[in-house]
């Protein structure tokens, strides 16, 4: 084999190897790529949409109420869930007739992003320290903190904050 052909092949192998290493680092350390398999987040995120979450978002801050996050399902760790943060560590969540009340407030949370006619009741539930209470936007279809054996999602299991949808249209989430 000629020296110039051999050098070209080695050059291509280096580029492909570098690209593979970069892809692994990005997917394991910087982003989470998740598919939303159900309608639990409709109309915000639709069934079969694909989203990207930023793993480093919570490096210097904590999740905030209404953030959309990706985490392993508490009862099925091999499955990734995409849900909205509703309750924060140390708060008490009470759901009455589908309306969410925090810490005994007389006013329910503004959940104008939800769909359906959920009339469920839950709680009161005291969220443990370092845990979050998660719900889907389509409350009637969402299997969320209300139904899991351990209702709280530990902060260290939150993989990242959803920043955009890239499949079935591009949409940025704040």
CA atoms lying within 13 Å on the CB side of residue 29 = 6
Contact status, residue 68 vs residue 161, Cβ threshold 8 Å: yes
Contact status, residue 119 vs residue 97, Cβ threshold 8 Å: yes
Is 6 considered catalytic here?
no
Catalytic residue among 83, 142, 145, 161: 83
Q: Counting beta carbons within 10 angstroms of the beta carbon of residue 146, is it exposed (0 to 12), middle (13 to 18) or buried (19 or more)? A: buried
Catalytic residue among 11, 27, 40, 145: 40
CA atoms lying within 13 Å on the CB side of residue 23 = 6
Is 83 considered catalytic here?
yes
Point out the residues that are catalytic: 40, 83
């Amino acid at each position: 084999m000629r020296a110039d052909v051999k050098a070209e092949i080695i050059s291509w192998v280096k580029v492909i190897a570098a690209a593979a290493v970069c892809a692994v680092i990005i997917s394991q350390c910087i982003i989470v790529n998740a598919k939303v398999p159900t309608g639990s987040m409709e109309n915000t995120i639709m069934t079969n949409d694909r989203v990207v979450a930023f793993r480093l978002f919570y490096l210097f801050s904590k999740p905030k109420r209404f953030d959309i996050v990706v985490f392993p399902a508490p009862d099925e760790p091999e499955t990734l869930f995409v849900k909205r943060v509703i309750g924060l560590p140390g708060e008490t969540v009470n759901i009455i007739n589908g309306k969410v009340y925090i810490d005994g407030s007389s006013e329910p949370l503004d959940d104008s992003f939800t769909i359906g006619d959920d009339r469920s009741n839950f709680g009161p539930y005291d969220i443990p320290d370092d845990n979050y209470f998660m719900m889907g936007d389509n409350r009637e279809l969402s299997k969320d903190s209300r139904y899991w054996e351990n209702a709280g999602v530990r902060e260290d299991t939150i993989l990242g904050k959803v920043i955009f949808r890239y499949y079935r249209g591009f949409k940025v989430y704040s």
